[in-house]
Structure 1
C-alpha cells in the first residue's frame, strides 16, 4: 500500500549511521589529540599547579574590582563552577590526563573563590560613608594614634556613635601638633568639634582612590580638628604594640638626630611619620622607597640574623647540641623574631608577606627542601589575599610580589644557576660573579616594577637598579645590624659608638638617594596607563616567571606589546577635577596651565603627574594666550586639526544668562564648579556640577575626541557615591 513516504534502503541507513559514528570518532580523536598536545606542552614547560592557583585566586579578586554590578560577579562565580563541572565531565579518564583535569577544576574553583572572598570582605568591613560634609561635636574613643611630626600633625582614628544615623562610625581626624595632649593615645575618651568629609574618590581618572581604601579600612569620614580637644579620660601611654612602637621610635630619634634618626626609626619600628618630605621624595625618585617600607629586605635581615645568632649560641651548649636538631630550633627562634618584628612594625601587607615567605623558607631549610621556590611565593600570596583581598589592587602588594617573583625566577633559571655554580676560582673572581648577579638582579627587579610604578604613581626612578646595588647591601649588612647592636648596647648604656656608626651609614644612604635623584633624567614621567596595557605587562611577566625552558620566552610577546602601547599612550589635553574647581590644560608650551593657583600640593601633583609634565604649573590668568575676567577664562588650543575653545568658570557669582548663553555658543567645552542653565549649550561638552556629580573627574583627549571619567571604573561598589546612586 502506497503511503507517500519514500522508502529508504536498509543498507543506506546503516551507511549513514556508520558515517555519523565515524565523524563523532574523528571529533573525539581531534579533541583527544588536542588534549595530548596540551599535556605535552605543560610537561615540557614545567607546569606547576601551585603558583597558577595563586594567579587564579588573584584573578577572581581582580574580576570583582573590574566588573561593576552584582549580577556580573555572580556570573563569574557561576561560569567558574560550571567550568569545573565541565572539566570533570569531559576528562573522566585516569592516568596522565587526570593532571590536566585536576588543573582545570582547581583553577576554576580558585577564580570563583577569589570573587567570593573579596565580595564577602567588602560586605563585612565596608563602612557606609557620611552622605555630605558637615561640622559636628562628637565624643569618641581613640582607636589608633599615628604620629606625623614631619607634617606637623597627629592623626587619630576615632570611634563614635552618630545619633542622626543611629550608627557607630569610625573616622580619621588630623590634629595639629600644637593641640596634642598628654594621654591622647589608644583607649582615650575625647570630646571635640570637627569638620568631617566623606572619603574622596579619585580627583581625576587614574588618580589615587582614597574612597576605596577607606571603605576597606572601615572609615566613614575624614576630617580636621576645629578648636581644642577636651580629654575626658586618658589612654594608656604604653597601650599594646602601638605604644611600644612609639616608644621605640622616640628612643631611636632621641639617640640619633636629624634625617638619619628618622630613617633609623622607620627601620626599627616602621614609623615613617618623621621622615622629611625632601628625603621621602629623594628616596622615591632614586628607586629606594622600598627601603623605607618594612618588607622582605628588613624581615629577611632580622630572621637571618636571628637564625645565625641562635644556631651559633646554641652550639656552645654541648648537652643541647647532642640531643636536639639545632637547625630546627634555630629556625623556630628566627621565626619568632620575624613574627615579633612584623607585629612591632605594624604588620603591613609587604611585611606580612615577607614574614610568611621567610617562615616557609625556614621550614624548608629545616626539612632539607629547596627554600626558594614559586610554591613558597604562591602560599604567601594566597595567605595575604585571604586576609586582605583588597590589597591585590594596591601598589604595595603588586610591587612586593613582583619583586619576589623576579628574584625567584631569575635564580631558578638555568643560565643563572650555571653562572652561580661553585667552581675552582679565586675569591676575587667569585666576588665579581656575585656582584654581577646582584647588578643583574637589580635591573630585573626594576624592569618588573616599572609598569606597576608607572600605573599607580605615573613616575619612576630610572637609575634605581644602580642605586640599589649599593643601597641594599649597605642597609642589610651595615645600617640594620648597627641599629640592632646600638639598641642592645643601650640596655647597658654603651650604645653611643654603634649609633654614631649607624648614623654615618644612613647619611651615606641619604647621600646616594639625593645624588641619584638629582641626576638629569632620573625620573620618568608617564600619563595614565590604561588597564589593557597593564594587563599585557602582567600577563607577560607571569608567563616569563612561571614557565620553564624556551616556553617562557613567549611571555616577551605581551610584554613588548604592552611597552609599545605605553609609548603610544597619549597624554590628556584637558584635566577637570571632580568638583570642577581645578582645570589643567597640557600641551600648550612645556608647562601645565591651571585655572586656579592652589596651595594644595596634592592637587598640583595630581594634575602634573597625570598630564605627564614636570615643573611648576602656570596659572591661566598669567598665560598670554588666555583671556580672563573675574568670572571666566577663555583659551583656544589647536588639537586634531581644529581649534578648540575652552570656557572655564572662576567664580561663583551670578552672571547674566544671555551673556553666558552667548559665550557658551562660541565655546566647544565649558567647565564650571556650579550648575549652569540649560541655555548654556557648548558645541561638545558642558562639564558643570550636574555632570561632574555623576562622572567624577574628567580627562579629555581632543585629537579623537573622547572623554575618560572616574565613574567608568566604579560601578556599584559600595565606596562610589555617584549621583546615579
Structure 2
C-alpha cells in the first residue's frame, strides 16, 4: 500500500510542480518556432505604450523593473527551452521599449510654453504650408535668440490677407511678427485628439495666430527641394482648380492645403482619406511603375537582357525613385515608413528571398519603432501595419489560396476571381481598421471597402499615371489633354466620396470606451493572426470580449472640456445640450464624437444635428451668469451647476448653491468654501485632470490625464519667468 501511495505521489509530482504545463508549452512553441520572432515588435510596442499609459517616472521605473524581474525569474526558475527564451526575450524587449521612448522624450522633445502670451519676436522660417482652402498660410518658425523664453520652434497661422509677397517668405527667410501664442492643445475631453503629444515629439513648443503686420527682414532664397515642391504644387493647382487640384497636389507633393473642408470631410466619411496622404499606396505605385518601365526598356536590348540581371537593376531604379519621392514630398513619418517597407521588399527580391511575408512586416515595424517609438499610439502607424498584416496573413492562408490563387481558366472567370479577391481583402482590411478608427475617431466607415474597390484602382491606374504624364508633357506644352483626364478622374473620385458619405450607413459611432477594450481587440486579433496552430483560436475569446466591451460602452452624461468653458449634458431623450449654445463647429464635433453622436455638421444634404443650449432645456434654469440642471438618474436626482460668465458672484449665494449642488463646473477658480456634494470641477481642478467625462448612474468619472501626470508635454505653470521674458521681447 505504501508503494502504491508512493507511485501516486510520483505520478502527481510533474503536475503539482508545473512540469506538465511546461512540457506542453515547449511542444506548442516548437510547433510555432517560425512565428515566435513576429512577436518582437509587439513586445516592443507594448513597452512603449505602457510608458504613455503610466503617469510618472516611478511607474515607468516600476514597469522596467517588473519586466526585468520577469525575465530574471524565467531565466533562473524555468527549465531550458523555448518557453524560457521566449519569456526572457518578452520581458527584456518590453523593458527596452519603455526605456527607448523615455530616452527619446528626454533628449529630443520640445517642452511646451507654460501659458498663453502675446509675443513680438524675430524668427527664421523653417517651413511654409499654404492652406488656400482655409484662407491662411501655416508657418513653422525658429525664434532667434533675442526672443528669450520662447520655445525653439513655434507654429503660427497667418491670414492670406496679412501675408507678404509669396516669393519673399519661404524656408530660410527671417521675419518679424507679433502673435498670440499658446501651449499646444491637449485633448479637450477624454478620447479627443491630443495634439500636445504630437507637437512635443515634432519639436513644436507653441502654436498661435499672427497679428498684422508680418514684416520680412531677409527674404527667402528659393532653392532646394522645398522650393521645387512649392513650385510644383502651385503649378498643379493652376492646371486643376478647386479640390481636384488640391488632391492632385497632395498626390505629387503631399500639400493638402487646397482641398476644401467639405471635400476632405467627405473623403474621411467614405473611408478614402488615406488617398490624400502620401502612404504605402502612392509609394508602392510609383516604385512598381518605375520598376516596370525600367525593366521593359532594358529588355528591349538583347545584349543587356542576356548579360545583366535586369530585375535587380530595375529594383534599384525603383528604390531610388521611392527614396526621391519620399524626400521630395517632405519625408513625413508615414511616407518614410512606407518607403522603408518598400525598400525591405526590394531587398528581399535582390537576395532571392520571399519578399512579401509577415517577417517583412515585423522587421519594418521594428525599424519604425526604434526610430519613431512615439508613432505606436498614433492611428497612422496602427492602421497601416494592421492593414498590411491582415492582407499578408490572408494571402498566406490556405483558404484564400484555394479560392483565389491564379490558375488556368478563361478571362471571365479570372476577372471574377480577381474582383472577389479584392472584395474579400477589402472587407478583411475594413474589419481590422474599424476598432482602430472607433478608438481614435469614435466613428468608422461601414462602406469603405466598397468605396476603395473603385477608388484605389482609379487612383493607381488612372489619376497618378495621367498626372505624371501631364507633368512630363507640360515641359513641351502638350499636357492639357492629360490634365483633363486627371481632372475628370478626380471629379469622379470626389463624386464617389460624396455619394458614399451621404449614405446613412457610411459611419458607425461609439462613445469613448477607453484603452482596455481596444488593447484586448488588438492583442486578440494579433494572437489569431500571428500563430498557426489551433491555439490561435484562443485569441477569438479575447477579441470577442474586447469587442463586446466596446459595443456596450455607455455614453457619458456630462462632458466638460479642460478649460471649463464648455459642458455637454445628455438629456432624457439621449440628445446633448451645450452650456454655450453658440459654440463653434470644432467644439460641437469634438463633444459629439466623444459622446458617440458622430458628426454634427451636415454632409451633402444630411440633417444637421442641432445641439441646443442648456438654457432651452426643460430641466434647466439659467441666469446671465449661472445655469443649473436637474438630471434624473436611476436611483436619485443630480443637480449640476455651471458658470458661464466672468461676473463676480455674490459670496453667500455662491456658497449656498455649491452646498446644494452635486457637481459644480466653472472656467474660473472657485473659492475653497464652495464644496459640492460630489465633484468640484473648476479651473484649479481641471488644470490637473484635463477634460472630464462623468457617468452619473455608475458614479464614475474619466479624465484626460491622471492626477500627478508627469509626461513632459503636460503644462505645469510654476514661475513667472516666461511672462517677464515676453515683456522684454523686441517689438517689430
TM category, shorter: over 0.9
| Matches of 2:23 and 2:660, distance apart in 1 | 67
Q: How does 1:130-529 map to 2 (within 5 A)?
A: 130-161=113-144, 169-182=152-165, 183-238=168-223, 240-529=224-513
Corresponding residue for residue 722 of structure 2: none
| Matches of 1:554 and 1:713, distance apart in 2 | 36
Corresponding residue for residue 692 of structure 1: 686
| Matches of 1:53 and 1:510, distance apart in 2 | 41
Corresponding residue for residue 660 of structure 2: 666
Are residues 1:719 and 2:713 paired?
yes
Are residues 1:648 and 2:632 paired?
no
CA contact (8 A) 1:661 1:681 kept: yes
Corresponding residue for residue 610 of structure 2: 616
Are residues 1:51 and 2:38 paired?
yes
CA contact (8 A) 1:591 1:616 kept: no
Structure 1 window deviating more from structure 2 (635-644 vs 32-41): it is 32-41
Corresponding residue for residue 57 of structure 2: 70
Structure 1 window deviating more from structure 2 (682-691 vs 160-169): it is 160-169
| Matches of 2:228 and 2:381, distance apart in 1 | 26
Alpha-carbon deviation of 1:361? 1.5
Structure 1's unaligned 5+ residue stretches are 1-14
Alpha-carbon deviation of 1:101? 4.0
Alpha-carbon deviation of 1:469? 1.2
The SS at the match of 1:115 is helix
Alpha-carbon deviation of 1:435? 0.8
Match of 1:626 among 612, 620, 631: 620
Alpha-carbon deviation of 1:352? 1.8
The SS at the match of 2:661 is coil
| Matches of 1:23 and 1:166, distance apart in 2 | 74
Q: Quick one: structure 1 residues 349 and 53, their matched pair in 2 at CA, closer, same or farther if it must change by over 3 Å?
A: same
Provide Cα deviations, 1:154-181, integer angstroms capped at 9, x if missing partner: 1111111465856762111111111112
Alpha-carbon deviation of 1:196? 1.0
Provide Cα deviations, 1:403-432, integer angstroms capped at 9, x if missing partner: 111111111111011112333321111111
Corresponding residue for residue 23 of structure 2: 36
| Matches of 1:713 and 1:538, distance apart in 2 | 27
Alpha-carbon deviation of 1:30? 5.1
Q: Quick one: structure 1 residues 698 and 723, their matched pair in 2 at CA, closer, same or farther if it must change by over 3 Å?
A: farther
The SS at the match of 1:712 is coil
Alpha-carbon deviation of 1:88? 4.1
Structure 2's unaligned 5+ residue stretches are 601-608, 720-732
Alpha-carbon deviation of 1:49? 2.8
Corresponding residue for residue 701 of structure 2: 707
The SS at the match of 1:618 is coil
| Matches of 2:612 and 2:218, distance apart in 1 | 50
CA contact (8 A) 2:447 2:506 kept: yes
CA contact (8 A) 1:573 1:586 kept: yes
CA contact (8 A) 2:688 2:708 kept: no
Q: CA RMSD in A?
A: 2.4
| Matches of 1:714 and 1:365, distance apart in 2 | 51
CA contact (8 A) 1:714 1:720 kept: no
| Matches of 1:192 and 1:652, distance apart in 2 | 31
| Matches of 1:153 and 1:136, distance apart in 2 | 20
Alpha-carbon deviation of 1:286? 0.6
CA contact (8 A) 1:698 1:710 kept: yes
Structure 1 window deviating more from structure 2 (430-439 vs 597-606): it is 597-606
| Matches of 1:26 and 1:161, distance apart in 2 | 73
Alpha-carbon deviation of 1:617? 1.5
Corresponding residue for residue 120 of structure 1: 103
CA contact (8 A) 1:262 1:274 kept: yes
When the two structures are superposed, what TM-score results if normalisation uses the length of structure 2? 0.92
Corresponding residue for residue 12 of structure 1: none
CA contact (8 A) 2:113 2:151 kept: no
Q: Quick one: structure 1 residues 114 and 263, their matched pair in 2 at CA, closer, same or farther if it must change by over 3 Å?
A: same
| Matches of 1:406 and 1:87, distance apart in 2 | 32
CA contact (8 A) 1:91 1:101 kept: yes
Corresponding residue for residue 723 of structure 2: none
Provide Cα deviations, 1:26-80, integer angstroms capped at 9, x if missing partner: 4599554433311222243464233211111111111111112223222333333
CA contact (8 A) 2:626 2:645 kept: yes
| Matches of 1:83 and 1:650, distance apart in 2 | 52
| Matches of 1:34 and 1:348, distance apart in 2 | 48
Corresponding residue for residue 11 of structure 1: none
Structure whose alpha-carbon radius of gyration is higher: 1
The SS at the match of 2:290 is helix
CA contact (8 A) 1:161 1:168 kept: no
| Matches of 1:533 and 1:295, distance apart in 2 | 28
Corresponding residue for residue 638 of structure 1: 632
Provide Cα deviations, 1:624-655, integer angstroms capped at 9, x if missing partner: 43221111112212123322122111111122
Match of 1:79 among 56, 66, 84: 66
When the two structures are superposed, what TM-score results if normalisation uses the length of structure 1? 0.93
| Matches of 1:168 and 1:200, distance apart in 2 | 15
| Matches of 1:162 and 1:366, distance apart in 2 | 50
In the alignment of these two chains, the number of paired residues is: 704
CA contact (8 A) 2:688 2:707 kept: no
Q: Quick one: structure 1 residues 79 and 623, their matched pair in 2 at CA, closer, same or farther if it must change by over 3 Å?
A: closer
| Matches of 2:429 and 2:669, distance apart in 1 | 49
Structure 1 window deviating more from structure 2 (364-373 vs 220-229): it is 364-373
Alpha-carbon deviation of 1:590? 4.7
| Matches of 1:425 and 1:623, distance apart in 2 | 67
| Matches of 1:148 and 1:398, distance apart in 2 | 27
The SS at the match of 2:180 is strand
| Matches of 2:703 and 2:293, distance apart in 1 | 56
The SS at the match of 2:187 is coil
Alpha-carbon deviation of 1:679? 3.5
Corresponding residue for residue 7 of structure 1: none
